[in-house]
Amino acid sequence: MRYDVLNILRVKNDYISGEELGNMLGVSRAAIWKAVTKLKNEGYNISSVSKRGYRLIDNKDVLNENEVRIGNIVCLKEVDSTNEEGKRRAEKGCADGLVIVSDYQSTGKGRLGKSWSSDKAKDLYMSIVLYPDISPMEAPRLTLIAGIAVSEAVNGITGLDAGIKWPNDVVVNGKKLCGILTEMSAEIERIKYVVIGIGVNINREGFNAELSDKATSVCIETGKKYRRALFIDEIVSRFMKYYGIYRERGFAALKDDYNRLCLNKGKIVRTIGNNVIKGRALGVNDKGELLIETDTSIVPVLSGEVSLRLEGDRYI
Ligand code: BTN
């Protein structure tokens, strides 16, 4: 019921008395007062003035299950890492496609053992739990699909021009906006579960000196604040659509979408690792491997095996 009150306050955008609210919803003024108290405790900024009633003061970005359109979601205030929470829930057999988001991660994880910092209730920290019927070798393709979903969602919502730095950093104006960390539990042949962790910098207004020339946020790029729920809906619905296509027709059906967004394509790149490969990136193949054209051959590079340095790159 409290979210019905919230919806009325949103539409009204002015004071409305407890009595009128009560009449609209068929409940008592006391019930309205209780609902408003709960909403305030959840973080909504509601002014109560005697004889005038209640008014929603600003459309603060509160994140809860009511704010999103997708159904299969758990919204937490704080967690160690949404990926860790996803793994714990997968071990207990949670639903396929469960989405976990949190306002804050105390020990958020990045790729290659790095940490992922949290700016409380400003950015998006989200994990999707899946039980795909694929081999562990194919799991990196899910990360590529998540990269497509995030880039398209960012571009659709904001009008920015986000692209993907292979394999899975979403980049705007040469700076990283989103990182994706896929973790799995698997046997030799089959995956038990996969957790796809997505961190998108949304409303953060700045970064420390170490990160400021490598990382950016939607707010820094657009000068505007956004509701995180909007990004959750757009990213998850796009991801689920592409995941469906992938399961039916394989990554080959998504290769062109990925290559259209791939910022490395046509650029000179160099892998980082023991066996350095340098050449022109041609885009990904049907398996999601990046094809690098060297002086002597075309070499497929599997994501997860190497990192990549783009010549002139600012942020590795
Ligand atoms: C990277 O290093 O680029 C990957 C960063 C992934 C961060 C996200 S935030 C949600 C999920 N939970 C984590 O602990 N990490 C991922």
Say how far apart CA 121 and CA 228 lie, in whole Å: 9
Q: Whose CA is nearest to atom 9 of ligand 1?
A: 199
- Whether the per-residue pLDDT at 284 is higher than 70: the answer is yes
- Residue 277 vs residues 112, 164, 258, 283: alpha-carbon distances, Å: 20, 20, 22, 15
Query: What is the reported pLDDT for 311?
Result: 58
Say how far apart CA 241 and CA 202 lie, in whole Å: 23
- Measured from the CA of 82, which atom of ligand 1 is nearest? 12
Q: Choose the residue to mutate in 83, 89, 103, 126 for probing ligand 1, maximizing ligand atoms within 8 Å of C-beta.
A: 83
Say how far apart CA 147 and CA 145 lie, in whole Å: 5
Domains of the chain plus CATH, in order, are 2-58 (1.10.10.10), 73-261 (3.30.930.10), 268-315 (2.30.30.100)
Percent of the chain residues past pLDDT 90, beyond the cut: 78
CB atoms within 10 A of CB 266: 11
Query: What is the reported pLDDT for 306?
Result: 55
Mean pLDDT of the chain: 92
- Whether the per-residue pLDDT at 69 is higher than 80: the answer is yes
Q: Which of 126, 131, 213 is nearest to 178 (CA)?
A: 126
Query: What is the reported pLDDT for 71?
Result: 84
Q: What is the mean pLDDT of residues 20-49?
A: 93
SS3 content of the chain, % helix, strand, coil (to 5): 35, 25, 40
Q: Choose the residue to mutate in 183, 198, 316 for probing ligand 1, maximizing ligand atoms within 8 Å of C-beta.
A: 198
- Measured from the CA of 168, which atom of ligand 1 is nearest? 3
Q: What is the mean pLDDT of residues 199-216?
A: 94
Query: What is the reported pLDDT for 309?
Result: 66
- Whether the per-residue pLDDT at 262 is higher than 80: the answer is yes
pTM, 2 dp: 0.90
Find the 198 Cα to ligand 1 centroid distance in Å.
Answer: 5
Q: Whose CA is nearest to atom 11 of ligand 1?
A: 197
Which two three-digit tokens encode residue 34? 């209780």
Percent of the chain residues past pLDDT 70, beyond the cut: 96
Tens digits of residue pLDDT in 168-205: 899 999 999 999 999 999 988 889 999 999 999 999 99
Query: What is the reported pLDDT for 316?
Result: 35
Query: What is the reported pLDDT for 171?
Result: 96
- Whether the per-residue pLDDT at 100 is higher than 90: the answer is yes
Query: What is the reported pLDDT for 270?
Result: 87
3 state SS of 214: coil
Q: What is the mean pLDDT of residues 109-123?
A: 91
- Residue 201 vs residues 45, 119, 121, 234: alpha-carbon distances, Å: 23, 9, 11, 15
- Measured from the CA of 109, which atom of ligand 1 is nearest? 14
pLDDT confidence bin for 315, thresholds 50/70/90: very low
pLDDT confidence bin for 249, thresholds 50/70/90: very high
Q: Which residue has the higher pLDDT, 314 or 58?
A: 58
Find the 253 Cα to ligand 1 centroid distance in Å.
Answer: 27
Q: Which of 70-79, 121-130, 233-242, 271-280 has the lowest mean pLDDT?
A: 271-280
Tens digits of residue pLDDT in 120-164: 889 999 999 999 999 999 999 999 999 999 999 999 999 999 999
Q: How many residues can be counted in the chain?
A: 316
